[in-house]
Amino acid sequence: MSIVVTGATGALGRLVIDVLLTTVPADQLVAVVRNKEKAADLAARGVELRIADYSEPATLAGVFRGGDRVLLISGSEVGHRIPQHKAVIEAAKAAGVAQLAYTGVLGGPEADFQLAAEHKVTEQAILDSGLPHTFLRNGWYTENYTAHLAPVLEHGAVVASAGEGRVASAARADYATAAAAVLTGDGHLGKAYELSGDIAWSFAEYAAELSRQTGRTIAYSDVPAGTHLEILTGAGLPRPLAEIFVDVDAAVGRGLLAGTTGDLARLTGRPTTPLADSVAAALATA
């Protein structure tokens, strides 16, 4: 039996591997990747590499083994993820894996924003497969915001269309630690975890934290959805992707990403990373 992480060269996948290596022998870990060269560092640490592509179902044949515990990290190609995820599910079922953990979205079936649609279909496909499963319904990564500080610092403004909505985000490393706990622990089969940060923050509070740490005045500019869309497309973002981001802000405004269930802290055994810490880490490398 191995612990298998798909999408292992992505930002989340690498962190999950890092956490697993602190408690699991490298020869019991498998990284499923598209590009062997990009995973050379993982191989050098003793992790087995298996080459496969979500978009090419034939490459998934034989990737999993009976009894494996598998983490299916959702694909990054919005609009293409349903067939990709179903290909992984079918390969996992054919192999007879012992657990399929899936990184979905906070709220699961109740999430009504565009970005959640593919996750909901994937969860249902997993249920229909009959596989032993665990749903990791990840809330927002704080890095979704802190990784894009350049325009914020340049213009002195956090621009969003979320009104007074709040976001219970956590650091990507927090979610990685939770995934590792589910893959190595017992009692998680059939469970759905709503994962989010301990404290929900508003964009005004985010701007205030940036102001405090930079010593500059950073304001929160709450704009109408249409204006927000124009700003994003004007900055070069493809319109379909910009529409998704604006739709997410609408969901934030409705309170759909503000839930603080405590599941993430319970799985990791520690408080989630505070917003201030994530801001400080981002500014240190900005």
pLDDT tens-digit series, residues 188-215: 999 999 999 999 999 999 999 999 999 9
Q: Measuring CA to CA, how many Å separate 79 from each of 27, 33, 62, 235?
A: 35, 21, 26, 22
Residue of 171, 185, 91 whose CA lies nearest to 138: 171
Statement: residue 75 has pLDDT above 90: no
pLDDT tens-digit series, residues 232-286: 999 898 999 999 999 999 999 999 999 999 999 999 999 999 999 999 999 998 7
Q: Are strands 48-51 and 69-72 parallel, antiparallel or unpaired?
A: unpaired
Q: Which domains does the chain have, with CATH numbers?
A: 3-138 (3.40.50.720), 146-166+198-259+269-285 (3.90.25.10)
How does DSSP classify residue 56?
Answer: B
**Helices vs. strands in the chain: H and E counts, helices first:** 12, 11
Q: Could you tell me which residues come within 8 angstroms of residue 100 by beta carbon, excluding any fewer than 6 positions away?
A: 70, 72, 89, 92, 126, 129, 131, 132, 133, 134
Given this model, what pLDDT does residue 265 score?
98
Given this model, what pLDDT does residue 223 score?
97
- 187: tokens are 């009692």
Given this model, what pLDDT does residue 77 score?
81
Residue of 173, 192, 166 whose CA lies nearest to 270: 173
Given this model, what pLDDT does residue 110 score?
92
Given pLDDT bands bounded at 50, 70 and 90, which one contains residue 141? very high
**Single pTM value for the model:** 0.96
Report the mean per-residue pLDDT for the chain: 96
Calculate mean pLDDT across residues 139-158.
95
Calculate mean pLDDT across residues 225-233.
96
CB 225 within 8 A of CB 251: no
- 28: tokens are 């019991």
- Burial-class residue 37 by CB neighbours within 10 Å (0-12, 13-18, 19+): exposed
Q: 223-257 b/e with 16+ CB inside 10 Å = b?
A: beeeebbebbeeeeeeeeebbbbbbbbbbbbeebb
CA distance 10 to 14: 6
Statement: residue 79 has pLDDT above 80: no
Statement: residue 76 has pLDDT above 90: no
Calculate mean pLDDT across residues 178-188.
98
Q: Is 165 helix (H, G, I), strand (E, B) or coil?
A: coil
